[in-house]
Amino acid sequence: MSASTWTEAATAKALQIWADYQRQHDVSGLVGQTAGIDPLSGRILFGEAATDIGEQMEAEGIDTPLYYTRVGSDYYVRVRRSSSR
């Protein structure tokens, strides 16, 4: 799956993998870290940021898009746009 073919089903699968992982593992020591979830293989990689995970993937020769989330949060990055008045 390439980034251009990412689907809502891939997101749903990644979220299910992440939920299952959290039920089976204590992630309290990883709060604030980034989790990269591969919906095809079920593999989860951890790092300080998505760029760290990208470097891990490159070193291992892995080239697949991941779903990213922040451990302890329900999103990876939230952008706040200020209104100009």
Range of the domain at 36: 3-70
Decide: helix, strand or coil at residue 45. Answer: strand
Residue 85 lies in a domain: no
Each residue's pLDDT tens digit, 49-77: 999 999 999 999 999 999 999 999 887 76
| 82 pLDDT tier (thresholds 50, 70, 90) | low
Look at the chain and report how many structural domains it folds into: 1
- Produce one character per residue of 19-46: b if its CB has 16 or more CB atoms within 10 Å, e if not: eeeeeeeebeeeeebbbbbbbeeeebbe
Residue 36 lies in a domain: yes
Residue 82 lies in a domain: no
pTM, entire model: 0.83
What single-letter DSSP state applies at residue 58? H
Pairing outcome for strands 44-47 and 67-70: unpaired
Residue 40 lies in a domain: yes
Residue 8 lies in a domain: yes
Residue 84 lies in a domain: no
Please, what is the average pLDDT of the chain?
A: 89
Residue bearing tokens 């990269």: 36
Residue 79 lies in a domain: no
